[in-house]
């Protein structure tokens, strides 16, 4: 009888411990989603801001190169868990 009671208590305790870990993982993934930056809009706005700051119209090749740079920077920051700030241009 003691073995059955001990087994039942152990089963309940370990099931609660397992559920606690699962809840923590869900909270971490929700917080990561909230901090991620939309890379398409970031790259587009940064490329346009660069063009306006320096006062020139980009060719399609220059635009694609600039857009790719900002997009890849954003993806890298999201994957690493960093917070991405707006770009700063120095003239």
pLDDT digits (tens, 9 = 90+) for 18-53: 555 555 556 555 555 555 678 999 999 999 999 999
Question: Rounded to the nearest 5°, which phi and psi values hold at 3?
Answer: -65, -40
Taking the C-alpha atoms of residue 64 and residue 58, their distance in angstroms, rounded to an integer, is 9
Tell me the average pLDDT of the chain: 76
Taking the C-alpha atoms of residue 71 and residue 39, their distance in angstroms, rounded to an integer, is 6
> Taking 70 as the threshold, does the pLDDT of residue 68 lie above it?
yes
């Amino acid at each position: 009888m003691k073995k059955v009671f001990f087994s039942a208590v152990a089963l309940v305790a370990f099931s609660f411990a397992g559920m606690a870990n699962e809840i923590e993982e869900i909270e971490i993934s929700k917080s990561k989603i909230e901090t991620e930056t939309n890379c398409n809009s970031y790259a587009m706005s940064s490329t346009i801001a660069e063009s306006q700051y320096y006062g020139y119209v980009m060719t399609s090749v220059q635009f694609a190169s600039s857009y790719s740079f900002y997009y890849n920077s954003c993806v890298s920051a999201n994957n690493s868990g960093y917070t991405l700030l707006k770009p700063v241009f120095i003239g």
